[in-house]
Copies of this chain bind each other. A is one copy, B any other.
Amino acid sequence: MNKKFNAILKKTAITSVSLVLLMASACKKDQPVNQTPDQNLSSNQTNAIGQAGPVGVCYVEVNSNDMLEVGKYKLANGKQLFDIGIIFAANINYNTTTQKAELFFNPQVTSVLNNRATKIKPLQDKGIKVMLSVLGNHQGAGFANFPNQAAAQAFAQQLSNAVTTYGLDGIDFDDEYSEYGKNGTGQPNSSSFVYLVTALRQLMPNKIISFYNIGPSAANLSYNGVTVGSKVNYAWNPYYSTYAVPNIPGLTKSQLGPAATDIQATSVTTATTNATRTVNEGYGVYLYYNLTGTNKSTYLSSISKALYGGQGTTYTP
């Protein structure tokens, strides 16, 4: 399906001056979503949905909303609006007995993962990548305080196992609510997050790794000459309703999302203005948060028209 979309897009682009201009000024949504940064991995890139313009990334709070909503929005040309849907969120917990970080799924996240056939695969069948976000959980463990490389490696293995077990397309890191220091855990250090993303990249060279740019992890993006930017595919601005370019050494414009839109809270004017800026300034990602079961096609149309050369968005329940 992706290949077909790409073929259609390429044909259109060649015959359409306006689309060619758009493609020249903006990043290409028909470029690989999984822009694996390591050179030796370039042969493993997967294709995205095939629409010129920024990649659309959408978090879904699965505690109260359905992942399938991500697949219900299409552009006027029939392509999916969202390229990536993110399950929000798994947690990094702390086991006080073993004194180790543990990947944790609450009942709602567990339900989505266990019902992969009906909640994840249908999206993937539409060409949408489905990722799992991991968030701190007030227990002291976080991405920025692994005490050593082995501890980071062990958690990366848990993440990679989850991706394999549940047929996911990648992992997103959200370094909030860890309460570093709690339960006798350590404070953030400069090696932890770099060790984590390095190990995870090695374990899953073909998958997507993304970073919601906040927290102590955002303040430790380089260690011993290795940058987080060389290991992750994307990073985005974490502050909804704002436009701010994340400062992530090693990432290019096509891998950055400066616009952060909360679908339930950001005004359509702000969301649309930020979409226009994303295109005009040549960034490759547009981030959406909190898609619910309510039809938001009017709102999303305003954004998609700015992102994708005037194309509106329709909702198919």
Contacts and interface: CB of A to CB of B under 8 A. Distances in A.
B216 A241 contact: yes
Interface stretch (A53-61, A201-209, A259-267): A259-267
Contacts of A260: 219
A219 B241 CA distance: 10
A144 B270 CA distance: 14
A220 interface: yes
Contacts of A82: none
Interface in A234-264: 237, 239-244, 247, 260, 262
Interface residues of A, number: 28
A219 B258 CA distance: 9
A143 B288 CA distance: 23
Nearest to A186: B267
A192 B242 CA distance: 11
A216 B239 contact: yes
B220 A242 contact: yes
A241 B239 CA distance: 22
Interface in A173-211: 180-181, 186-190
Contacts of A239: 188, 215-216, 218-219
Given A187-B241, A219-B237, A247-B247, 11 more contacts: A181-B265, A186-B267, A187-B240, A188-B240, A189-B270, A190-B243, A215-B239, A216-B240, A219-B239, A219-B242, A221-B244
